[in-house]
């Protein structure tokens, strides 16, 4: 199974996922990113930080960008 890296982009800052996660495919990586984004969003809100523009950049083993998942996609606003 492939390894995906869920790097966090916040403006010009990039936090690289050094370990990565072995997942079935890029769709599974997107689901993992959304779940992680929910946790991170909760922390940001509790800390009183602005939630705007943060995203996961999902990379594969070759360093190719496979998907971008904005944190705001993790919010369910009905």
Owning domain of residue 9: 3-74
Which pLDDT tens digit goes with each residue over 31-63?
999 999 999 999 988 999 877 889 999 999 999
* pLDDT(78) > 70: no
Q: Are 10 and 33 in contact (CB under 8 A)?
A: no
How many structural domains is the chain composed of? 1
pLDDT at residue 59 in the model: 98
Q: Are 27 and 77 in contact (CB under 8 A)?
A: no
Can you tell me the mean pLDDT for 13-28? 98
Higher pLDDT, 30 or 72: 30
pLDDT at residue 19 in the model: 97
């Amino acid at each position: 199974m492939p390894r995906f890296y869920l790097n966090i982009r916040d403006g010009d800052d990039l936090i690289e996922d050094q370990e990565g996660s072995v997942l079935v495919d890029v769709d599974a990586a997107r689901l993992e990113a959304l779940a992680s984004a929910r946790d991170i969003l909760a922390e940001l809100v509790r800390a009183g930080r602005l939630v705007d523009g943060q995203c996961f950049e999902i990379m594969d083993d070759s360093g190719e960008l496979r998907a971008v998942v904005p944190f705001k996609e993790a919010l369910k606003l009905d």
